[in-house]
Amino acid sequence: MADNFDKYQQGLDSPAYNAATITPADSDLSTDLRAFYVGSAGDVAIETTGGDSVTFSNVPTGAIIPVRCRQLKSTGTTATSIVGLY
């Protein structure tokens, strides 16, 4: 299938180019995310690309959180079926 947008440069407000299932771990991801999708509700603990640690509490099923992060921590994360968007 042809990509009708392959001639355009990807910008910061462009939709994600790739997606992957994320297993929470207390270590850096192989690449920073630009957002993540929560498939099953719960808390999500992250470290942002800027180095801040934060927990998003009670994230509902189906939420997309548009935050750049380098870690999706297992400690403090209760949400499941998380998909990283990058």
- d(CA 62, CA 51) in angstroms, rounded, equals 26
List the domain boundaries for the chain: 19-85
DSSP assigned state of 79: -
CA 69/CA 66 separation, integer angstroms: 9
Query: How would you write the pLDDT of the chain (86 residues) with one tens digit per residue?
Result: 787 777 888 877 788 989 999 999 999 999 999 999 999 999 999 999 999 999 999 999 999 999 999 999 999 999 999 999 99
Phi then psi for residue 85, to 5 deg, are: -115, 130
Phi and psi (nearest 5°) for 55? -120, 125
Say if residues 82 and 49 touch (Cβ distance below 8 Å). Answer: no
